[in-house]
Amino acid sequence: MLWLVQFSGIALLFAGSPLLWGVTQSVKAHLQGRRGPSVWQMYRVIAKNLEKETTAPEFSSLIFRLAPSVSMTALTVVLIMIPLSGQAPQGWPDDLLTVFFLLALERFWVGLSGLDSAGTFGGLGASRTSTIGTGIEPALLATFGVLWKVSGATAIEPVSASLKAVPTGVFAWSLAAISFALIVLAELGRMPVDNPDTHLELTMIHEATILENNGRLLALSQFAMTLKLTVMTALGWVIFGPHLASAWANLGLMLVELTGTSAALGWIESRFTKIRYFQLPTYLSIAAGIGMLAFALSSGGFNL
C-alpha cells in the first residue's frame, strides 16, 4: 500500500514539476498586471528544446555533456528518497544526510560544467553557485539537527508531532521552518538571492552556468531546475507540514501544498528585490543562526 502511494507520488511530482514552475510564473505575471504565458509554458519550452540540435562549445569535454544528466539524476534520487506520504515504505532509502550529500553532488557537477565550457559566463556561474553553496550547507545542517534531535532518527520524517511534546516546541518548529524556507530560496536561486528571469550577466547566477547549454542538454537542465523546486518544497512540507492519518490523503495534501508554495513564490518574487551578491553571506548566516536557535529551543528549555 505504502509502496503504491510512494511510487504514484514520485511519478506525479516528477511529471508535474514543470507545471509548478508554470504556476509561479503565472502568479507573478498576474501580480505584475500582465497576462503572462499559460501554466503549461515550461512543457512547451522543454519540448521545443528537445527538437533542436544539440551543440557544445569548443574545448568542452565529456564533463560538460554529462553534467545535466548527473544533475537530473541527483535530484531524481532525492525525490525518490522523500517519503511523500509522510511515512516511508519498509526498507526505503530515506536517509536525511544522504539528501544533503546528493545536493552537494548536483552542485559539484554544475560547477564543473561551467568551467568546462571554457567561457567567461560558465566560470562566473560556477564560482557564484558554489560560493552560495558554502552558505547553504551549514545552514541546512542546523535544520537537520532539529529533526535529528526530536525524532532521534536518521530518516526524513515529520517533526511537528514530536515537537508538540516539548514545552518550547512551537517556537523551535516555527524558527526551524523559517530557517529552512530561507535556505530553500537560496538553494533554488529565487528572489531575494537570484532572479531566475534575468538575462543580465552582472547579476545572473544559475543562468550563467547553463548559458552554453542548448538542445537536449538545455532541456535536461531546465527540467532539473523545475525538479529542484519541487524536491526542496516537498522536503520542507514532509518535515514541517501537517500530517494526516491516511497515506493517500497525505499525498493529496502534498499536491495542494506544493501548488500553494509555487503561488507564494510568485508573490515573493513580485514583492522583494534581489540583494547584492556580496551581502549573501549575511543572509545565509542569518538563516544558520535562526536554525541554531531552533535547535537550542528544541531541547525543551534553557537548563544548563
Q: 205-210 long-range CB contacts below 8 Å, 24 or more apart?
A: 205/125, 205/128, 205/129, 205/132, 205/277, 206/125, 206/129, 207/125, 208/114, 208/121, 208/122, 208/124, 208/125, 208/128, 209/110, 209/111, 209/113, 209/114, 209/122, 209/125, 209/126, 209/129, 210/68, 210/125
- 154 contacts another protein (rule: CB under 8 A): yes
- 177 contacts another protein (rule: CB under 8 A): no
- 57 contacts another protein (rule: CB under 8 A): yes
Q: Are 36 and 28 in contact (CB under 8 A)?
A: yes
- Return the residue of 27, 184, 186, 288 that touches another protein, per CB under 8 A: 288
Between 38 and 279, name the residue whose CB sits nearer to another protein: 279
- 274 contacts another protein (rule: CB under 8 A): no
Q: Per CB under 8 A, which of residues 211..230 are in contact with another protein? A: 211-212, 215-217, 219-220
Between 44 and 52, name the residue whose CB sits nearer to another protein: 52
Q: Least distance from C-beta 142 to another protein, angstroms?
A: 6
Stretch that binds another protein, among 7-15, 67-75, 175-183, 229-237 (CB under 8 A): 67-75
Q: Least distance from C-beta 113 to another protein, angstroms?
A: 9
Q: What is the 3-state secondary structure (H, E, C) of 159-191?
A: CHHHHHCCCCHHHHHHHHHHHHHHHHHHHHCCC
- 173 contacts another protein (rule: CB under 8 A): no
Q: Are 182 and 290 in contact (CB under 8 A)?
A: yes
Measured CA to CA, the distance from residue 180 to residue 245 in angstroms comes to 25
Q: Considering only CA atoms, which of 142, 6, 141 is closest in space to residue 79?
A: 6
Between 80 and 286, name the residue whose CB sits nearer to another protein: 80
For residue 196, whether the previous peptide bond is cis, meaning omega lies within 30 degrees of 0, is no
- 206 contacts another protein (rule: CB under 8 A): no
Q: Least distance from C-beta 148 to another protein, angstroms?
A: 5
Stretch that binds another protein, among 3-11, 141-149, 187-195, 257-265 (CB under 8 A): 141-149
Which residues have C-beta within 8 Å of that of residue 250, sequence separation ≥ 6?
5, 84, 85, 86, 87, 243, 244
Stretch that binds another protein, among 21-29, 136-144, 185-193, 237-245 (CB under 8 A): 136-144
Measured CA to CA, the distance from residue 79 to residue 16 in angstroms comes to 12
- 107 contacts another protein (rule: CB under 8 A): yes
C-alpha dist (Å) from residue 63 to 56, 136, 163: 11, 24, 44
Q: Least distance from C-beta 249 to another protein, angstroms?
A: 26
Stretch that binds another protein, among 25-33, 126-134, 177-185, 228-236 (CB under 8 A): 126-134
Q: Are 280 and 41 in contact (CB under 8 A)?
A: no
Between 104 and 263, name the residue whose CB sits nearer to another protein: 104
Stretch that binds another protein, among 12-20, 33-41, 226-234, 288-296 (CB under 8 A): 288-296
Between 178 and 292, name the residue whose CB sits nearer to another protein: 292
- 70 contacts another protein (rule: CB under 8 A): yes
- 134 contacts another protein (rule: CB under 8 A): yes
